[in-house]
Amino acid sequence: MTEAVPYLFAYVTLVMAIGCGLEQLKEVLRKPGIMLWTLLLAHVVSPLVAYAAGTAIFGSDSPYVVGLVLFTIIPLGVSTVLWVGMSGGNVPLVLAMVVLDSALSPLVVPAGLHLFFDTSVDIDIMPLVMDLIVIIVLPTVIGVLLNQWTKGKIQERVKPIAAPLSKLCFVAVVALNASAIAPHVEQLKADMIKLIPLVIALVAVCYAIGFIGTAHRGLTETQITVSYSTGMRNISLGIVLALGYFSPLAAVPVVLSILVQQPLATVHHFVLQKLNKNKAGAEASAHVR
């Protein structure tokens, strides 16, 4: 049933996209500098860190290195919007960036893979681009147009059915791909001692890259938004691509990141809340003085 995975994922993308209209996209276009800086941190700086760390531990020819880099060049994750909202970030900005980054994925993902693995991994670029168009770009365009056509009302109307079904599709994507990896589990046992800490460290560093990369702005909506954006990725897409175009072992770091990404988002949220309290306390003290 793994052939059904791209179509299940296309539906998940569609449900995400109907929450974004042209107004949200215009919000990003008004701040092109923030968007470009976020994409640079997420898809250039983070992959360099992933490649360097993976190569140092497993060697440049390891499929694990492919999986680590793939995690950093896939589009921003949909759940980023939820965490940005809870942490006081800019929700319209991150929602629009998720949609635009997804639409750009047929360019970003092949370019990143070509840059890092052109000589060591046999990548058939055109089928990859076509798959990304079918499972990411078309559902995104359709979702945005539906949102615009209904003036934003479609999301609430279809949510009682579309949202639970989207969650089931996501579970199916993960389960089907996990079953495809299962025959290779024996090979993983010796590697897990090194791979699991590396995946945890990489995901944490991705959050830190966005946070440090916008430190010059202070603890603002922008810093919160960018730090979540660089830390959270569309992991289910990464699994689909890893199994579709690489060794099943390349999907292992991406699968492990599912277990790591959300808990680290919770830790990041806690840190941001503490920093906000400290900032508010310092401002209150300065005001009293």
Q: Give exposure, 31-60, as e/b (b: 16+ Cβ within 10 Å).
A: beebbebbbebbbebbbebbbebbbebbee
Residue type, position 261, single letter: Q
Q: Nearest-CA neighbor of 263 among 54, 41, 21, 83?
A: 83
- The pLDDT tens digits for 190-216 are 788 899 899 999 999 999 999 999 887
For the question of whether the overall pTM of this predicted structure is more than 0.85, the answer is no
3-state SS, 78-100, equals CCHHHHHHHCCCCHHHHHHHHHH
Higher pLDDT, 2 or 152: 152
* pLDDT tens string 19-71: 777 776 676 677 788 888 999 999 999 999 999 999 999 988 888 999 999 99
Tell me yes or no: is domain 2-279 CATH 1.20.1530.20.
yes
Rounded Cα distance between 256 and 253, Å, is 5
Give me the pLDDT at residue 234, please. Answer: 82
Confirm if 123 and 114 have CB atoms less than 8 A apart. Answer: yes
Write phi, then psi, for 250 (nearest 5 degrees): -70, -25
* Residue carrying the six token digits 């299962």: 182
Q: Evaluate whether 260 touches 200 at the Cβ level (below 8 Å).
A: yes
Report the mean per-residue pLDDT for the chain.
Answer: 81
Residue 122: is its pLDDT beyond 60? no
Kindly write down the DSSP assignment for every residue of the chain, as one continuous string: -GGGHHHHHHHHHHHHHTT--HHHHHHHHT-HHHHHHHHHIIIIIHHHHHHHHHHHHH-TT-HHHHHHHHHHHSPBPTTHHHHHHHTT--HHHHHHHHHHHHHHHHHHHHHHHHHHHTTTS---HHHHHHHHIIIIIHHHHHHHHHHHHTTT-HHHHHHHHHHHHHHHHHHHHHHHHHHHHGGGHHHHHHHHHHHHHHHHHHHHHHHHHHHHHTGGG-SSHHHHHHHHHHH-B-HHHHHHHHHHHS-GGGHHHHHHHHHHHHHHHHHHHHHHHHHHHHHHHHHHHHHH-
What per-residue confidence (pLDDT) applies to 206? 95
